Amino acid sequence: MGLKDGPLWNHNIHFHRVALEAIPNSATSALDVGTGNGMLARDLRERLPDVTAIDVDAPILAAAQRTHAGINWVLADAMTHDFGRTFDVVASVAALHHFEDLESALGRLRELTAPGGVLVIVGLAKATTLGDYARSVPGVVQHHWYSRTRNLWEHTAPTKWPPPHSYTEVRECAARVLPGVRWRQFAMWRYALTWHKPSELLGGSRF
C-alpha cells in the first residue's frame, strides 16, 4: 500500500505532541535520546534553535542526517557520551526500553536535564495487570482507525520486543528517580513520563 497525502504517521510520531507540549517557554536547547530516524529531532528543531540528537546506530543516524538539517547529530551511547553540557529539554520516544538498567537510564537523563528544564519520555512497557490489558482494547481500535485514515509510515530504526520492564516497574522506578514525575498511560501501548527539574535546591545552590 502506498503512502497517502499528508504528514507521516505512526505510533511514535503520534505521541511527539507529548514532548512538544512540554517545552518550557524559556527553552532554547533540546536533546533527543535514541533519535532513530530523527523525526522527533526534526519536530524539536522546528521550535528550538539548538537541537542535539544521539543514537548508537550509524546507518540510521546517517540517513536521518541526510534528511533533516540544522541538527547536531551524535553517534554515541547516551549513557557514556560526554556532552559537556545540559539541555532545557531532554526527550526520548520509544527508546527507554532499549536500556536494560532502567534506574541508571532515568538517572542519566535526569543529569542531562538543565535546572528549570523538562525531561519527557514516551515509552513502551509490558502489560502485567488487568488495567494494562483493559487499556489495550481501545488501543487496538485506535490503531486500526489511524492506520486506515492516516499516512502510515513504518520506521526503519531497530526495534526491541517485548520490552524488558512492565508498566508498574517503570512507574515505580520513575517515582524513585524523578520525584514529582507525572505518569500517563495511553491506549496505544505507550506511557509518558514528564518531569520538571527544579531550578534550585533548598538553600539556593543550583543543580
Predicted TM-score (pTM) above 0.95: no
Higher-pLDDT residue of 159, 99: 99
Q: Is 65 exposed, middle or buried (0-12, 13-18, 19+ CB in 10 A)?
A: middle
Q: Coil, strand or helix: which one is 75?
A: strand
Residue given cell 498511560 in the structure block: 185
Higher-pLDDT residue of 95, 148: 95
Domains assigned to the chain: 8-36+45-127+155-196 (3.40.50.150)
pLDDT digits (tens, 9 = 90+) for 169-205: 999 999 999 999 999 998 777 999 999 999 975 444 3
Determine the angle formed by the axes of helices 102-112 and 167-177, rounding to 10 degrees: 40
